[in-house]
């Protein structure tokens, strides 16, 4: 999976990115080519986190057989959640961010 730097449009492999700054659910990465920082846009980051949480939650419900009559529904919701998260990971646009304060 390659990410495109929103600044210099350079296609980057995740391995090429050396500097990563994590702040809660937000992850900022530094482009090794132009040294500018970028990250997935905030609404998309939140949506992605929500999707993953949905999968975790519904998997847990199924695992512990809580409301097992709805297990198929939970699986469906969980699947939709992870689908959204994957789509955002692959298609989500990155945007330029300020250099994180270290
Ligand atoms: Zn760049």
Beta-carbon count within 10 A of 47 CB? 18
CA atoms of 100 and 20, how far apart (whole Å): 10
Residue written as tokens 């999968």?
A: 55
Q: How far is the CA of 83 from the centre of ligand 1 (A)?
A: 28
66-80 per-position pLDDT tens digit: 888 999 999 999 999
Is residue 102 domain-resident? no
CA distances 96 to 5, 21, 35, 37, 68, Å, are: 8, 14, 11, 6, 45
Is residue 30 domain-resident? yes
- The total domain count for the chain is 1
Q: How far is the CA of 69 from the centre of ligand 1 (A)?
A: 50
Q: How far is the CA of 27 from the centre of ligand 1 (A)?
A: 16
Q: How far is the CA of 92 from the centre of ligand 1 (A)?
A: 17
34-78 per-position pLDDT tens digit: 999 999 999 999 999 999 999 999 999 999 988 889 999 999 999
Residue written as tokens 């920082």?
A: 37
Domain that holds residue 38: 3-97
The two three-digit tokens of residue 51, written as one number: 């999707």
């Amino acid at each position: 999976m390659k990410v495109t730097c929103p600044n210099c449009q350079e296609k980057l492999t995740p391995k090429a990115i050396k500097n990563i700054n994590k702040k809660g659910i937000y992850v900022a990465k530094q482009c090794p080519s132009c040294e500018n920082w970028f990250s997935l846009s905030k609404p998309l980051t939140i949506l992605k986190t929500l999707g993953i949480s949905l999968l975790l939650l519904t998997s847990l419900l199924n695992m512990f057989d809580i409301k097992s009559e709805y297990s198929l529904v939970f699986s469906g919701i969980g699947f939709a959640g992870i689908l959204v998260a994957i789509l955002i990971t692959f298609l989500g646009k990155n945007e330029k961010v300020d250099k994180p304060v270290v």
